[in-house]
Amino acid sequence: MALSTVHLMRHGEVHNPEGVLYGRLPGFTLSDRGRAMADRVAEVLHAGGHDIRAVLASPLQRAQETAAPIARTFGVPLGTDHRLVEAENDFEGLAVNAHRLRLAHPRYWVRYLNPLRPSWGEPYEAQVTRVTGAVRAALDLVPDGGEVLAVSHQLPIWVTRLFLERRPLAHDPRHRQCALASLTTLTFDGRRLVALTYWEPAADLLPGTGR
């Protein structure tokens, strides 16, 4: 049986000068750098001879904008799968990057009771369930082999990887390996996962790399 591949791609950089934890809020678009990241991934995949037969994305604007140039490059329609959406988060809308001490306010303490779930948002298990469901649906799009690219968000991708690698879902966010515009690539023989790799086609465009 031919091998099939699903690339779980994190969206590119978002224009967010206020440092808002935007979560599922509408209206957050890619920055100029984020658009360059999406274009770069499309270029690298095409130049590398990848066989992208379908492109899917979370319904959020930043994911749709990231997926669009890849769909155009490979001449396929852009599909939407709501299971790829960002994780729910009770702190959505707070400017946490600029005002981290806000999170220490007593009104939020109840949210920290169970970090293993976590108690401040969508359970990790629920994220894994929906993303693995999206992966199975993506495989149905390439029954004879080929590649599907699915644009999602950091946390859902990361906990899905932890699940597939049989690691605990609870983790330190600082240790996630899921950079902007990165690809967590799942290779299947039929429905059996035979390889999981991670790569960053737009690594030189990441913040802090001089571009």
Q: pLDDT confidence of 109, banded at 50, 70, 90?
A: very low
- CB–CB of 45/75 below 8 Å? no
Report the C-alpha gap between 138 and 40 in whole angstroms: 23
Domains of the chain: 3-17+29-88+122-205 (3.40.50.1240)
Cα distances (angstroms) measured from residue 39 to each of 36, 152, 178, 180:
5, 16, 18, 13
At 99, list the tokens.
Answer: 């005002």
Q: pLDDT confidence of 208, banded at 50, 70, 90?
A: confident
User: pLDDT tens across 132-183, in order?
Assistant: 999 999 999 999 999 999 999 999 999 999 999 999 999 998 999 999 999 9
User: pLDDT tens across 1-47, in order?
Assistant: 689 999 999 999 999 988 888 999 999 999 999 999 999 999 999 99
Report the C-alpha gap between 152 and 66 in whole angstroms: 10
Token pair 């894994």: residue: 128
The type of residue at 84 is: L
Provide the Cα torsion 102, 103, 108, 113; round to 10°. Answer: -170
Q: pLDDT confidence of 118, banded at 50, 70, 90?
A: confident
The angle that helices 61-74 and 32-47 make with each other, rounded to 10 degrees, is: 30
Token pair 């930043």: residue: 62
The answer to which of 102-106, 107-111, 156-160 has the lowest mean pLDDT is 107-111
Backbone φ and ψ for 171, nearest 5 degrees, come out as -160, 170
pLDDT for the residue numbered 102: 60
User: pLDDT tens across 180-195, in order?
Assistant: 999 999 999 999 999 9
Instruction: Give the length of the chain.
Output: 211
Q: Give the residue-averaged pLDDT of 73-100.
A: 84
Q: Give the residue-averaged pLDDT of 95-122.
A: 60
Report the C-alpha gap between 139 and 53 in whole angstroms: 11
The type of residue at 40 is: R
pLDDT for the residue numbered 29: 97
pTM of the model: 0.90
pLDDT for the residue numbered 107: 57
Cα distances (angstroms) measured from residue 140 to each of 60, 102, 147, 190:
23, 45, 11, 10
Q: CA angle, 80 as apex, 205 and 198 as ends, to 5°? A: 40
pLDDT for the residue numbered 50: 97
Token pair 């990241």: residue: 37
Task: Indicate the helix (H) or strand (E) that contains 194.
Answer: strand 192-199
Q: pLDDT confidence of 120, banded at 50, 70, 90?
A: low
- CB–CB of 26/64 below 8 Å? no
Q: pLDDT confidence of 84, banded at 50, 70, 90?
A: very high
